[in-house]
Each structure stands twice: as C-alpha cells, then as structure tokens.
Amino acid sequence: MEFVRNAWYVACWSRDLTTAPLAATLLGDRVVLFRDSAGRAAALEDRCPHRYLPLSMGRPVAAGLQCGYHGMTFDATGACVEIPGQTRIPPNARVRAYPTAESNGMVWLWMGAPERAATAPVYDQPEFHDPAWAVEYGTPLAYDCNYFPLAENLCDPVHVNYVHPSTLGSAVGGEAGVEAVREGDVVTTVRWTRDAPPIGFFAEFGLFEGNVDRWQYYIFHAPATSVIDFGSLPAAPGARDDARGEGFRVYALHFLTPVDEHRTIDFWLTLRNRLTDDDSIGPRMSALLMTAFAEDKAVLEAIEAETRRRPAAPTVRLAIDKGATLLRRVIEEKLAAE
C-alpha cells in the first residue's frame, strides 16, 4: 500500500533526540533530526546541497547543523546561514525542512504539503494527562514489511489466540467474532471474550481470582495510529462496555512509521490504570508485549516475503476481516484525495 503523506508520523521518542544529528528514513525520505540551540526539534532533508554529504554526518553548532565536509551550516528552516570563505549565500543554498511537533514524549514529522501541517492536530490520548494513569514507552520495533499488513494486524483482535497463546490470547473464546464500525478516519473493531480464565498478560499481575470478561477495542486512526484498548473485569452477566473503567485497563498505542515500501517502524507504548505506583510493572508489561510482538514480526515478515513472491495472487475474505476492510477503504480515500 502507498503512503498517505498528509499526516503526522512519529520519528523518535523525545528522550532520544539531542543536538546530535539523528538520521532517519520516513516514507522513503532520508531526513536528519536534531535539536536547535533553543531545544526545538528540527528535521531537514539529509543531504547537503553542495556535494550531497548526508547532513547527519555533520555536527551541531550554535547556528544550526554544520555539514561535515566543508562546513556549510543550515538552520532549522533549512536555510543556509554560514559558508566558509564567503559572505554571500546563494539563494539555492537550502535544504527541505519538514514541519515538526513534539507532544507526549514523541517527536512527529509532517511528511506532506507543509502548509497543511498547522491545522492538523497531532494524536493525543487524554490518559497522557491523567495522573491516575502510568505511561511506559517501549523499544521501537523494526518490521521488514509494508505498513499496511501491520495496520491490518492492529485491526484484528482474533489473531491473538493463534499467534500469542501465552500472552495476549487464550484457546478459550477462539470462536468469538468481531464487530467493526467506521466513523470518519477511525475504524473500531471490538471483541469480547466472556467468562474465561485471564490471559497470560493479566494473570501475570495477579489481580484476578476467577474467570474474567475480557475486551479488545482495536481503534485505528488512519493512516497510521493504532489505539488498542484492552482489559479484563471479573466475569458477570450483561453488557460490560461501560464498565471497562472499573477493570484493569491498558492502552497499547502503536504509531506506525513507514520507512519505505518494505520496512516499517512501530513506535509503541502502554498506558495503564492499575499498579501505577509500582515502577517494575511497566517494564514487565513491555517484556510480555515484546514476546507477542516478536510473534507478530515473524508472521508479518513471512507474509511480506510470500506477497513479494506472488504479488497479484488472490486472497480469501473472512467475516473477521471487517475492520481491516474498512481501514483499507479509508486509506484508499485518503490516497485518492492526495
């Protein structure tokens, strides 16, 4: 699937960006990120216009980023502000600058038409600002696959029983179906597994004695943000959607950044509403999820390899694909609009 360019994409965690140049590839564009002397995140095309040395091989100076070959210096807007041995700055001595934003511990880049960035909000989750919740940033994970199969995976609550039996899924409830709805750019796929033993992920933290009702709300904000609202409650009859706040609730957020057609980085983190004072819980949760993500990686990379062998081969559509089918439609509409 092609990339939607008019969108914010996570380039790195805020904590990983200093004044030192950081090379990254987003949507096929090679960029260099750095903090300017005021501490603001900046992103430029990673290529000096003089002899094309990547600017990521340069060094930070007070005025901006200095090329490592002959010292041309560029500020955060991409303008050249210094050239050794001359005072005149040629008008074409500039590089493309990407709009940046920084919020909730993430640095975002706008990869499309720059003038559209100002009116496009960066994704925000209210729980980031709620002291009753704890956040844990994961280790970004590189997948050798196109972003779209990964996006489909994040609209697919059923695969957990088959791919993640020890952590996120269970044999019981493998037959539970899904509901999916689209509202604007958001596709929500919901699945409840009722009156079953807690899955490994929740059993690990010892909050449940008997059977639980477990929800999976897979909320995908096209083109590339996945919010997985999952949790468990002691089992009881009746509809439980409104009772989720009383349960052990976790949001796993995935910000997918396509590197190129065949590679994607998943910037993921968790928010939780229980055991928030215990600093050991976040890393333990992350370790459990990393076990699961390694399983997803194996599946998705094998699918990518097979897809590349026979790109046009037909696939079979199932009822559990509802969410993924809706998401494909949203993204196709966005691509057509671009």
Which residues of the chain form contacts with Fe ion (CB under 5 A)? Answer: 296
DSSP state of 16: G
Is residue 285 close enough to count as binding ligand FES by CB under 6 A?
A: no
Is residue 145 close enough to count as binding ligand FES by CB under 6 A?
A: no
Coil, strand, or helix at residue 42? strand
What, of ligand FES, Fe ion, none, does residue 200 touch, CB below 5 to 8 Å by kind? none
Of residues 70 and 116, the one with the C-beta less far from ligand FES: 70
Q: What type of residue is 304?
A: E
User: Over the Cα atoms of the chain, what is R_g?
Assistant: 22
Distance CA 156, CA 325 (A): 11
Residue from 70, 116, 317, 329 in contact with ligand FES (CB under 6 A)? 70
Cβ atoms of 75 and 63 closer than 8 Å: yes
Residue from 2, 19, 36, 53 in contact with ligand FES (CB under 6 A)? 53
Residue from 69, 123, 128, 208 in contact with ligand FES (CB under 6 A)? 69
From the list 1-9, 68-76, 229-237, 256-264, the region that binds ligand FES by CB under 6 A is 68-76
Is residue 72 close enough to count as binding ligand FES by CB under 6 A?
A: yes
Residue (of 97, 29, 31, 26) closest to 257 by Cα position: 26
Residue (of 125, 141, 127) closest to 301 by Cα position: 141
Give burial (CB, 10 Å; 0-12/13-18/19+) of 302.
Answer: exposed
From the list 18-26, 46-54, 95-103, 259-267, the region that binds ligand FES by CB under 6 A is 46-54
What, of Fe ion, ligand FES, none, does residue 296 touch, CB below 5 to 8 Å by kind? Fe ion
Shortest distance, position 71 Cβ to ligand FES, whole Å: 6
Shortest distance, position 314 Cβ to Fe ion, whole Å: 24
Shortest distance, position 56 Cβ to ligand FES, whole Å: 12
Q: Which residues pair with 228 in a beta bridge?
A: 218, 252
- Give how far the C-alpha of residue 321 lies from the chain's centroid of Cα atoms, to the nearest Å: 21
From the list 27-35, 45-53, 145-153, 272-280, the region that binds ligand FES by CB under 6 A is 45-53
What, of Fe ion, ligand FES, none, does residue 207 touch, CB below 5 to 8 Å by kind? none
Is residue 116 close enough to count as binding ligand FES by CB under 6 A?
A: no
Shortest distance, position 75 Cβ to Fe ion, whole Å: 42
Is residue 51 close enough to count as binding ligand FES by CB under 6 A?
A: yes
Q: How many helices (H) and strands (E) does the chain have?
A: 5, 18
Positive/negative CA dihedral, 332, 333, 337, 338: negative
Distance CA 197, CA 9 (A): 38
- What is the enclosing helix (H) or strand (E) of 30? strand 29-35
- Give how far the C-alpha of residue 139 lies from the chain's centroid of Cα atoms, to the nearest Å: 11
Q: How many residues bind ligand FES (CB under 6 A)?
A: 9
Binding residues (CB under 6 A) for ligand FES: these are 48, 50-51, 53, 67, 69-72
